[in-house]
Amino acid sequence: MSPRINGRRRIGRWLVALTAITSIFLIACGGAESPTTAPAAAPAEAPAAAAEPAAPAESMDSGSMTDSSGEAMTDSSSSSVSMENQPAPTNTPVPTVQPTPRPTEAMVVAARDDVVIVINEEPSIPDPWISTTLYPNQIIHNIAQPISFFGPDFTDTATAGFTGFEQIEPNKWRLSLREGVQFHNGEAWNAEAAAYTINQLGGNVEYQPYSQVREAHAEIIDDMTVDFVCTSAAGCPVLPRFGQFHIFVAPGYHQNVSQEERDASGQVIGWGPYVWDEYVRGESITLTANENYVEPQPVDFITQAPSIKDATYIWREEETVRSAMIQTGEADLSWAVSIDQADPINNSDHGKTVKVVSGEVYTINVDTIWHPELQKLEVRQALTHAINCEELALAFFGPESRCSSGPNGIPGTLGVNEDNWQPIYGYDPERARELLAAANYNPENTIQFWTRAGRYAKDVEITESLITFWQDVGLNVEAQIVEGSVWRDRHLTGPAVTYDEQIDAGASSEDAAAAVPQNDPPRTGASPGLVFFAPGGEYFDFGRQINFYMSCASNRSKNCNAEWHALGQQALASTGDERRELMTEAYNLFSENLLQLPMMEIVSVWGVNKDLEFVNMPGGRRILINTMTWTQ
């Protein structure tokens, strides 16, 4: 069902007293051991209820990676651009926490060894290689894991299947595999098994991780060593960060069980700390602790063995329902709810909150390829000028929420700072009308606005307000509130298939880009119009957004310009100061041309059982059950 919303101003209904939360992170119960990775930012020195901000963005520079040995590795062959004569941007520190693993001795004997997690929606695409990044972040990263995770200490930490990673050439990384690890079905974990995932994900544009690393293949060195070789123009100078969705799966199962059978069962087989148990469609997904999990030593927060045996995922679309489930003790962890739910949760008998530090900005992806009106910059400017972002931010998220100039990436993200993050196209409805007239805007070309209910905090309420703002200046926009699978068809409508076919046939990038709008949009055959979402910020590097949303080779991008594509590839290939400079240039181009319409930061919280220790991961999406512990 795709209901249309008739625009009526409803903001007043949602003006509520919002209370700021002082709890940034809740720190897991302490132990004597130190993490096995060197933090990229100074540890917090605050009480458990709040963490001190980290050092400015320089400490999170993706040009330097850290493996599980704690040694920094920088691409020494890369060129760098002197910044001495350029004004330094003003960076806002991003909160971090130095979590400690569960104690290895004198473990607390908890009253419970299970957890109930309520998320926002039932997974609609059960294959984590094909789904959007939300599904792996919420569930599958507990079962099948990548090379590393970017942890709450802002360090790239090798997962349990690896003893480390090393950049041996600009576009080649050597991965050292951990002995004794095996897949949940008994298949061996070795270089051949790792090569299967690398080769599969490096050669198929339909696989979502492909968009983040692009063309790649494996070279086996010995039984427990494999080289990850990137062959795209952008290379992979920061592979551990950008490979967080290269999820390694059991090759025998993946090859011998059909896609249809795998989708029907939902089962994914990895070597992570949890094993897939059961999927009852429409009701729940259950996982159980992996009894054969190999815990790296010394014990590290990210890779520690589970203390919780059984995990049950259920889903509720309405955030007030998820909040109520925490308040009553029906659930132990709730996917993000808006900040106005903080007081009810914190004042309940069962709940507490942990602030989501996600870097997420409410954003609208804009079809500049196929829609005749959205191709015009003046129309995109009019759409933005028509929105009273400050009013919406205050009404729905309170004074902490700030309006932005561009897509996801708060100040402190590589390429984003306090200067270029300020809004460019402020609220000015009269200017919006002038721009529509100058663009010869035709209201008969209806613009469809696609959103979901419950994916993000206040998404439906904001949609209602946006339709009103646009109608006030004469824009013909129709809101479609749809289920996840319908929304994803629009979200995954991009130029990649046509562009790659043209490149493979020998066309230049310019000719390949020119061919894209001459072909019908993939998946639905119709313009995706406007797609409402908030792209993930788990890398804290603007390169994530370039890969997905400013690339002719992406199936999510809604633009394809050969010059912009080239800038993006150059930025992705760079390191050090040059990377910062080029990421900033790309962010500015993205923002000025309104490749996505920006709005405000999402200010939200996790609802958590008061006896459960839970730490927010960078990006505010990833749920790693093995990092949770019961204190009672």
For residue 594, pLDDT over 90 is answered with yes
Task: Give the mean pLDDT of 272-301.
Answer: 97
Same domain for 453 and 308, yes or no, is no
Q: Answer yes or no: is 276 within a domain.
A: yes
Same domain for 300 and 369, yes or no, is no
Q: Answer yes or no: is 11 within a domain.
A: no
Q: What is the pLDDT of residue 22?
A: 30
How does pLDDT run across 66-79, given as a tens digit for each residue?
443 333 333 333 33
pTM of the predicted protein model: 0.80
Count the alpha carbons within 13 Å of 115 in the hemisphere toward its beta carbon. 32
Residue 411, token pair as written in the block: 């100040």
Task: Dump the DSSP string for 466-532.
Answer: HHHHHHHTT--EEEEE--HHHHHHHHT--SHHHHHHHHHTT--HHHHHHHGGGSPPTTTSS---EEE
Residue 336, token pair as written in the block: 């993000």
Number of H helices, E strands in the chain: 19, 22
Same domain for 177 and 278, yes or no, is yes
Q: How confident is the model at residue 111 (pLDDT cuts 50, 70, 90)?
A: confident
Average pLDDT of the chain is 84
Q: Answer yes or no: is 6 within a domain.
A: no
Same domain for 426 and 371, yes or no, is yes
Q: Answer yes or no: is 590 within a domain.
A: yes
Same domain for 311 and 391, yes or no, is no
Task: Give the mean pLDDT of 83-110.
Answer: 53
Domain count along the chain: 2
Task: Give the mean pLDDT of 502-523.
Answer: 95
Domain's final residue, options 315, 342, 373? 315
Cα separation, 162 vs 164, whole angstroms = 5
Same domain for 364 and 238, yes or no, is no
For a pLDDT cut of 70, what percent of the chain falls above it? 82
Q: Answer yes or no: is 252 within a domain.
A: yes
Given a contact cutoff of 8 angstroms between Cβ atoms, the answer to whether 539 and 369 are in contact is no
Q: Answer yes or no: is 630 within a domain.
A: no
Q: What is the pLDDT of residue 55?
A: 33
**Max CA separation in the chain (angstroms):** 73
**Which is nearest to 603 in space by CA: 337, 376, 385, 416?**
337
Task: Give the mean pLDDT of 30-49.
Answer: 32
Domain's final residue, options 286, 315, 344? 315
Residue 554, token pair as written in the block: 């992406």
Same domain for 301 and 200, yes or no, is yes
Q: Answer yes or no: is 61 within a domain.
A: no
Q: How confident is the model at residue 98 (pLDDT cuts 50, 70, 90)?
A: low
Q: What domain range is 222 assigned to?
A: 116-315
Given a contact cutoff of 8 angstroms between Cβ atoms, the answer to whether 133 and 207 are in contact is no
How does pLDDT run across 130-169, given as a tens digit for each residue?
887 888 999 999 999 999 999 988 899 999 999 999 999 9
Q: What is the pLDDT of residue 68?
A: 38
CATH of the domain at 254: 3.40.190.10
Same domain for 251 and 379, yes or no, is no
CATH of the domain at 492: 3.10.105.10
Q: Answer yes or no: is 342 within a domain.
A: no
Same domain for 426 and 573, yes or no, is yes
Q: Are strands 361-366 and 596-601 parallel, antiparallel or unpaired?
A: antiparallel
Same domain for 311 and 374, yes or no, is no
Q: What is the pLDDT of residue 477?
A: 98
**Burial letters 113-137, b for 16+ CB under 10 A, else e:** eebbbbbbbbbebbbbbbbbbbbbb
Same domain for 285 and 411, yes or no, is no
Contacts of 377 (CB under 8 A, 6+ apart): 593, 594
Cα separation, 342 vs 322, whole angstroms = 12
Same domain for 270 and 394, yes or no, is no
Q: How confident is the model at residue 87 (pLDDT cuts 50, 70, 90)?
A: very low
Least confident segment among 108-122, 247-261, 308-322: 108-122
For residue 91, pLDDT over 50 is answered with no
Q: What is the pLDDT of residue 132?
A: 79
Domain's final residue, options 315, 346, 374? 315
